[in-house]
Amino acid sequence: MFVTFEGLDFCGKSTQVELLEKYFIDKKKKVIVIREPGGTPISEKIRDILLDKKNSEMADETELLLFSASRSQLVNQTIIKSIENNYIVISDRFHDSSIAYQGYGRGIDLDFVTKLQNFAIGKAVPDMTFFIDIPVEEVVKRMSKVKKIELDRIENSRLDFYHRVRDGYIFMTENNKRFRKIDGMLPKDEVNKIIITEIERFRKAI
């Protein structure tokens, strides 16, 4: 099974990834957790380039291509092999992030972004994607608790950018049965219970 988590920065998805990993480990399941961008030596080097605030001159198109290159390497080096070996793969972000952030957020042609992502992931289509939804105002509130110097290049984006990204996620959620939208303002344990319920319902259906 291949499960991905999506959402705005500071939405709590990384916490939910950790909780779901623990759930599967406790059930003696083989599980691997990956993050995006990153997850392989090559992809981690690309991550450093993408998130470095010093690269403020990076073109939106360059950003998209770098994310896609990192993702392609992760798919070919880790994801496909793990699924073939009966691992449950949990990814903190995947190709939907590029559609939301670079397509809706940056305004790059959505058709092109989508086709590029389909090329990058090949057969590695998630079985289920959880969109942890929080208002942009909550992103600002949570972000204010972090020192400005600790925020990466993308986390320093303008608020109107985050509004477009959230709108993109909502549209995808409403038009793709693979998505499950969850209220990220709920307590983390309650969010975890909802996720596990959805996961087990899916596993019983296949």
* pLDDT tens-digit map of 41-63: 999 999 999 999 999 999 999 99
Confidence of residue 16 (pLDDT cuts 50, 70, 90): very high
* Residue-averaged pLDDT of the chain: 95
Residues ≥6 apart with Cβ < 8 Å to 59:
none
pLDDT exceeds 80 at position 156: no
Domain 2-199 CATH (choose: 3.40.190.10, 3.40.50.720, 3.40.50.300, 3.40.30.10): 3.40.50.300
SS3 181: strand
38/46 Cα distance (integer angstroms): 7
For the chain, the domains span 2-199
Number of H helices, E strands in the chain: 9, 5
Helices (H), 122-174: 136-143, 159-174
Q: CA–CA separation, 186 vs 182, rounded Å?
A: 9
pLDDT of residue 153: 75
pLDDT category at 109 given cuts 50, 70, 90 is: very high
pLDDT of residue 149: 60
Matching residue, tokens 């305004």: 107
